[in-house]
C-alpha cells in the first residue's frame, strides 16, 4: 500500500487481547425465536416470547427475534454452547421421517461464550449454516432436564457488535433483513482495517 521508493517497512500492528463473545454480547437480553408455525404456536413453546422481544427492542430496533422453524429450534434447545446438535442423542437434525441428517460438524453449532465470535458468514440468518447459533444459557425445564436458551441465530444488533460495525449505523429502512445479513457477512471488520491503516500512517 506504499510506493517502494518510500522505503517503508510495514508490519502488522501489535496483537491485542481477544474479546470473547461473553464480553461482547453477554450483557444483551435473551431472545426466543419467532416460530414459522405462527404466533400462537410460538407463545405455546415460548411463553415469554413477547416479553423478551420488548426487552430486546428497548436496546435497539435491530435486537429482535430471528425466525426459525420449531424443529430446528427444538434441536438447538437441547444443544449447549460450543456444541453441535449433531452430537445430541435424541434431538439431532433429522428428516420428517426421523432419518438422521448427514452434515458438516460445524452445522447446527452454537458459538462459544469463552471464545471470540467465529467468522460471520453471509448466510448467517439460517440456523443450519456454519457456526452461527447464539451460545445460549443453561436453564432447567419443569421436569428438571437441562435445556438451553436462545435457540436462534445472532440478531442483527449482535452481528454489528461482533463485526465491529457501529451499532448506530444508519441502515436504510428499505433494506431487507436478508440483504443486511449478507452485507455484514464475510466482511472485513472496520476496526481491523483501522488498526492496519493507523500503523501504516504512523510509519509514513
The tens digit of pLDDT for each residue in 124-163 reads: 999 999 889 999 999 977 677 899 999 999 999 999 999 9
C-alpha cell of 159?
452481528
- Could you report the per-residue pLDDT of 26-72, keeping only the tens digit for each? 999 999 999 999 999 999 999 999 999 999 999 999 999 999 999 99
Task: Give the pLDDT score at 21.
Answer: 97
164-201 as b/e: b if 16+ CB within 10 A: bbeeeeebeeeeeeeebbbebbeeeeeeeeebeeeeee
Every domain of the chain and the residues it spans: 4-203
- Candidates 3.10.20, 3.90.120, 3.40.50, 2.10.260; CATH matching 4-203: 3.90.120
C-alpha span between 112 and 204 (Å, rounded): 40
pLDDT for position 188: 92
Looking at the DSSP assignment, which residues form a beta bridge with residue 67? 34
DSSP H/E element including 49: helix 49-59
Work out the percent of the chain whose per-residue pLDDT is above 70. 100
Average pLDDT over residues 161-190: 94
Q: How far apart are CA 152 and CA 150, in angstroms?
A: 5
pTM assigned to the model: 0.91
Amino acid at each position: 500500500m506504499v510506493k517502494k521508493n518510500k522505503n517503508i517497512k510495514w508490519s502488522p500492528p501489535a496483537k491485542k487481547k481477544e474479546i470473547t463473545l461473553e464480553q461482547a454480547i453477554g450483557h444483551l437480553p435473551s431472545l426466543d425465536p419467532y416460530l414459522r408455525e405462527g404466533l400462537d404456536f410460538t407463545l405455546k413453546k415460548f411463553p415469554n416470547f413477547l416479553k423478551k422481544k420488548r426487552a430486546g427492542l428497548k436496546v435497539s430496533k435491530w435486537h429482535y427475534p430471528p425466525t426459525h422453524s420449531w424443529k430446528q429450534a427444538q434441536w438447538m434447545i437441547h444443544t449447549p454452547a460450543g456444541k453441535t446438535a449433531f452430537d445430541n442423542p435424541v434431538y439431532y437434525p433429522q428428516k420428517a421421517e426421523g432419518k438422521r441428517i448427514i452434515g458438516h460438524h460445524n452445522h447446527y453449532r452454537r458459538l462459544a461464550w469463552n471464545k471470540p465470535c467465529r467468522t460471520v458468514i453471509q448466510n448467517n440468518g439460517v440456523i443450519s449454516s456454519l457456526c452461527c447459533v447464539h451460545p445460549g444459557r443453561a436453564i432447567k425445564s419443569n421436569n428438571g432436564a437441562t435445556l438451553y436458551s436462545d435457540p436462534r441465530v445472532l440478531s442483527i444488533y449482535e452481528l454489528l457488535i461482533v463485526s465491529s460495525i457501529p451499532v448506530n449505523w444508519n441502515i436504510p429502512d428499505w433494506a431487507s433483513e436478508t440483504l443486511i445479513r449478507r452485507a455484514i457477512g464475510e466482511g472485513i471488520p472496520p476496526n481491523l482495517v483501522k488498526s492496519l491503516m493507523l500503523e501504516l500512517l504512523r510509519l509514513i
